[in-house]
Structure 1
Amino acid sequence: MKERLVVIGNGMASLRFLERLTEAAPGLYDVAVVGAEPVAAYNRVLLSSLLGGEVDEAGCAFRGLDWYESHGIRLITGAPATQVDRENGLVIVGETHVLPFDRLVLAVGSLPIRLPKPGMDLPGVLTFRDLADVAAIRRAAVAGARAVVIGGGLLGLEAAVGLSRLGVDTTLLHVMDRLMERQLDHEAAVLVKRAMEARGVRVRLKADTASVEGEGCVERLILVDGTVIPADLVVTSVGVRPNVGLAQGAGLEIGRGIKVDDRMTSSDPRIFALGECAEHRGLVYGLVEPAYEQAEVLARHLMGEGAAYAGTALSTSLKVSGLPVFSAGEIEAPEGAEAVVMSDPGLGIYRKLVIGGDRLLGAVFVGDIAEQAWCKALIRSGESIAAHRDDLMFGRTAPIPQPLAA
């Protein structure tokens, strides 16, 4: 008999794992996948485009139900797993399913953090993480509505831009002194703020929320400094925490996330974790790229190959209100390193290279990100950039045509 493989979670990391496993070793396992959401895996990166009406739900889909069927994968949707019984090798799903397993993959993602402030449980306070959130926000974003988005990270910016595209009066609040402070330095963040404001989004920095108020629903948001902001809708995007409830209940080793080794194996050798719920070498990643790399390693490991995950050098590449932004590695020069900057605020172009010796330690680009892939590769490899500094800053120049021989 084939070994029974159960995957809990049907997000982007889970699907990438299943794709790699079934492409390279079709039929190796008897596979069942459990997803809490009522639809199969979809592209969460497109949620802001969905919110703003640029794509529909079909445009966010990855694989149809026929793909799972044709690859022999049993897919259960709309029924969250409620318990992992390690002693008997069982997964309890909803109230009707019991799935036996020989190997188990936890790809259960993360949960949005709600600010511990008064009024956060009022109707009209929403998160921005999945299709249901987008549907709820769109229902609340009626003509004349006033929206406040809390959080100046990537998802907060995307939510604010999506609401602005719907014609909603939108204010973005961020407690820090600049947007996307983990990915951008001050100069780059200023350009991003301008791009947001050009889209009609009001941006308030150093804005600490004290409470949300209203009679039976959201009516206003109060800042710590006493400022009152009228609001019919509040979207919170202040971070996520790994979803460790199932693993904790099963007695697996937990830190910030489900602790795994370089083969994505938990403290139980039959159980694995990947994506936003996994903690590897003390780090929990909240981005797609590390999740995909982990999925590749786990698929190869379960096929018997000697794959190992060594961690991911993080980078961010996105468009904020049409403005291209790229960030990778160090954003400020550590001791002994130097920062080389080119800035043209009028054109909305900013480039910063953080260099240590002859190695590229980090890069921040706004407006023109043509060299992003090259920079990312150099940061990861540690290769000397002695012969490339000008090209990295100003772009690769085309070779000068040589005159034809007489």
Structure 2
Amino acid sequence: METTSRCSPNDHLVIIGNGMASHRLIEALVKQPTRPQRITVIGAEPTPAYNRILLSPLLAGEMQQEALTLRDTEWYADQGVTLILGEKVEALDRTRQTLTTDSGQSFDYDHLIIATGSRPALPDVPGIELEGVHGFRDLQDAEALEAIAQRGGDAVVIGGGLLGLEAAEGLRKRGNGIIVSVLQRSERLMNRQLDTTAAHLLKDSLTQRGLNIITGAQLERLESDARGRVAKVHLADGRQLKASSVIIAAGITPNAQLGHQAGLTTERAIVVDEFLTTSDTAISALGECCQFEGTTYGLVEPIWRQVEVLAATLCGMPTHGYADTPSATKLKISGVALYALAPLRPAPSMTS
């Protein structure tokens, strides 16, 4: 079936975002003879798309940064794709179908795809903006955490889900006498994926490795030292932990601000239909920044299915549209075999 999102070969397709979802879409499009011949990709990070799933092994020292790169800049040029890196789109004019970056560059589009991903969801507690508080979402974060591990000290990871546990183990494995604690608000680790028995087995395994796992931990505030750096974590039950660094891995918030500012229908993220079309038929949204039937996304499996649908839609090929199905989860910690399959639930997020 066809939708109004279909592009003609003469259209200018602009993609905002150069993450994994955007890159997979480009790879799918360039294989099709009916692809738009003019494709421009604008990425806020200074490097071409890379595999964010491998940030944890990178932090743990199990691979080099070059291994994460999906394609180099020459590949984009060979495919006739204009790649612009290190620039953030700040304004979107839907009437004129133009956008403007933070460097002042302007671009027109016939069809626009917003694939701006997400950012760490920050707990609303005093001290969250202190120096020494980090996220774990990109290469720059991985570099900062590697430096933390090498310095040693006391690191506290907020979040006992997939990313938090991988960050904690990466710090421990890469560290130089570092003490790593993990705070999980729920009574069990990976509470969205594991039952009580599996969560206890995982906790025992990670504790034996040297991680300090604290469940049922309600974060109250972060305390600074005389220099304005984080120095201590306070829990609601009165417990205190020394913290020379705090790593936030407690869920994600969709980067939907651009869509909201442009007047697209947004709730927790940019609302799309089964063909990934927003409330403006000239604009699609893809990946972690989009919301379909109340669900937002943080795993690659459903996003890869979105890519298939959107590529077919843009190129005028038959597609039944996107539908949610159960998704699998794998914990990427060496020596821990954990693979979970469960019904898809909305990714944890904060209202933008």
The TM-score, its normalising length taken from structure 1, stands at: 0.79
Residues of 2 paired with 1:131 and 1:28: CA distance? 31
**Structure 2 equivalent of residue 274 of structure 1:** 286
Q: Which residue of 2 aligns with 1:42?
A: 50
Q: Which runs of 4+ in 1 moved over 6 A?
A: none
Residue 298 of structure 1 corresponds to which residue in structure 2? 310
Q: Aligned-pair distance for 1:198?
A: 2.1
For residues 336-372 of structure 1, what are the alpha-carbon distances to aligned partners after superposition, in whole Å with 9 as ceiling and x for unaligned? xxxxxxxxxxxxxxxxxxxxxxxxxxxxxxxxxxxxx
The aligned runs of 1:1-400 (5 Å cut-off) are 2-25=10-33, 28-167=36-175, 168-215=178-225, 216-307=228-319, 308-329=321-342
Contact 2:326 2:343 survives alignment (8 Å): no
Is the contact made by 2:154 and 2:179 (CA closer than 8 Å) also made in structure 1? Answer: yes
The farther-off stretch of 24-33 and 295-304 is 24-33
Helix, strand or coil at the partner of 2:62: coil
Structure having the higher strand fraction is 1
Task: From the superposition, tell whether residues 66 and 172 of structure 1 become closer, same or farther in structure 2 (CA, over 3 Å).
Answer: same
CA contact (8 A) 2:166 2:332 kept: no
1:257-294 C-alpha deviation (Å, 9 max, x unpaired): 11111111101111001100111122111111111110
Q: After the TM superposition, which of the residue ranges 219-228 and 139-148 deviates more from structure 2?
A: 139-148
Q: CA deviation at 1:205?
A: 0.6
Q: Spell out, residue by residue over 1:72-115, the C-alpha distance to the aligned partner (whole angstroms, 9 max, x if none).
A: 01001111111111010101112231110000001111121111
Q: Which whole-Å CA distance do the structure 1 matches of 2:142 and 2:196 have between them?
A: 31
Q: Output the aligned Cα RMSD.
A: 1.5
Give the aligned residue type for 1:240. I
Return closer, same or farther for 1:176/1:321 CA change in 2, 3 Å cut-off: farther
Instruction: Give the C-alpha shift of residue 160 in structure 1.
Output: 0.3
CA distance in 1, matches of 2:343, 2:197: 15
> 65-74 or 217-226: which moved more?
217-226
The structural deviation recorded for 1:321 is 4.4
Q: Is the 8 A contact 1:252 1:266 kept in 2?
A: yes
Q: Structure 1 residues 321 and 197 mapped into 2: Cα distance closer, same or farther (>3 Å)?
A: farther
Letter in 1 for 2:231: E
Q: Percent identity?
A: 42
Contact residue 196 and residue 320 of structure 1 kept, 8 A = no
Counterparts of 1:13 and 1:134, CA distance in 2: 20
Residues in 2 aligned to 1:5 and 1:113: alpha-carbon distance in whole angstroms: 30
Distance (Å, rounded) in 1 between the aligned partners of 2:92 and 2:258: 7
Q: Matches of 1:118 and 1:42 in 2, distance apart?
A: 34
- Whole-Å Cα distance in 2 between the matches of residues 136 and 269 of structure 1? 40
- Structure 1 position 319, deviation (Å): 3.8
In the other structure, the counterpart of 1:386 is none
Contact kept in structure 2, 1:108 and 1:243, CA below 8 Å: yes
Q: Residue 26 of structure 1: CA displacement?
A: 6.8
* SS at 2:329 equivalent: strand
| Number of aligned residues | 331
Q: What is the distance in 2 between the residues matched to 1:264 and 1:320? A: 33
Q: Unaligned 5+ residue runs, structure 1? A: 332-406
Per-residue deviation at 1:330? 5.3
How far, CA to CA, are the matches of 1:144 and 1:290 in structure 2? 38
Give me the whole-angstrom Cα distance separating, in 2, the residues matched to 1:28 and 1:121. 43
Partner of 1:363: none
Q: How many Å separate the matches in 2 of 1:246 and 1:305?
A: 29
